[in-house]
């Protein structure tokens, strides 16, 4: 029933505060290491998927799998260009010889979430996502079933004169109006936890290269 369809827009921002330069340290080097540390996660689809606390398993599937997300059909409905200049074309993990230009940089994944349905009961939800790396982060199209389609974009920006790295996530969810409240509440909780885990990973990576970030209160 198309008249019951609705769109949910959401956004999340996390600040990664870089440590001040100590004697003998170059602020530009600290920023460079900070960006490298966050892109190490942002440019890893499996890392990003597993940040979601609901995820039980994730597997990459070949482009030929009939369960793959049809991003060629979906992208125009979200005004997303498949041949955008910011796309990073990378080798496919399943076929290193594959030419990813033909797939616009997308890799396909099958994901299993464990959902709490109340009264101490849960059930598994199997869904599929197409993910591609961009110069500023990553973009995703997700087909969650039951008419739920999601476009997500993660962006990394530098703020506060090079002292802060901003993680900016934006999502547009198209779903049945009757599902919208449950979807919004689930997304808000899971994505808040995902951002917290992503920040923890960044702090660990920064410490590994000799820089101890300052947590923002």
The tens digit of pLDDT for each residue in 14-55 reads 999 999 988 888 999 999 999 999 999 999 999 999 998 889
What pLDDT, on the 0 to 100 scale, is given for residue 125?
A: 86
The tens digit of pLDDT for each residue in 135-178 reads 999 999 999 888 899 999 999 999 999 999 999 999 999 988 88
What pLDDT, on the 0 to 100 scale, is given for residue 89?
A: 80
The tens digit of pLDDT for each residue in 69-122 reads 999 999 999 999 999 999 988 655 555 545 444 468 999 999 998 877 667 677
What pLDDT, on the 0 to 100 scale, is given for residue 2?
A: 57
Distance of alpha carbon 138 from alpha carbon 153, whole angstroms: 6
Say if CB 21 and CB 163 are below 8 A apart.
no
What pLDDT, on the 0 to 100 scale, is given for residue 102?
A: 47
Q: Enumerate the domain spans of the chain.
A: 2-90+105-208
Cβ atoms < 10 Å from Cβ of 155: 18
Give the sheet arrangement for strand 164-176, strand by strand: 5-17, 164-176, 148-159, 137-145, 121-133, 107-118, 55-61
CA 124 from chain centre, in angstroms, equals 21
pTM (2 d.p.): 0.86
Note the CATH number of domain 2-90+105-208: 3.30.530.20
């Amino acid at each position: 029933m198309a008249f019951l369809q609705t769109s949910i827009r959401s956004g999340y921002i996390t600040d990664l505060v870089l440590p001040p330069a100590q004697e003998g340290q170059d602020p530009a080097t600290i920023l460079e290491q900070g960006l490298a540390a966050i892109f190490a996660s942002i440019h890893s689809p499996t890392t990003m998927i597993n940040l979601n606390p609901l995820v039980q398993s994730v597997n990459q599937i070949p482009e030929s799998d009939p369960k793959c997300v049809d991003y060629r059909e979906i992208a125009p409905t979200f005004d997303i260009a498949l041949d955008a200049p910011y796309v990073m074309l990378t080798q496919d993990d399943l076929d290193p010889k594959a030419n990813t230009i033909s797939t616009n940089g997308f890799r396909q994944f099958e994901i299993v979430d464990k959902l709490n349905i109340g009264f101490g009961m849960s059930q598994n939800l199997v869904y599929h996502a197409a993910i591609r790396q961009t110069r500023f982060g990553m973009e995703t199209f997700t087909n969650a079933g039951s008419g739920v389609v999601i476009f997500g974009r993660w962006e990394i920006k530098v703020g506060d004169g090079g002292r802060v790295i901003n993680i900016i996530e934006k999502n547009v969810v198209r779903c049945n109006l009757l599902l919208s409240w449950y979807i919004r509440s689930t997304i808000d909780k899971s994505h808040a936890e995902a951002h917290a885990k992503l920040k923890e990973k960044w702090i660990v990576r920064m410490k590994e290269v000799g820089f101890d970030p300052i947590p923002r209160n």
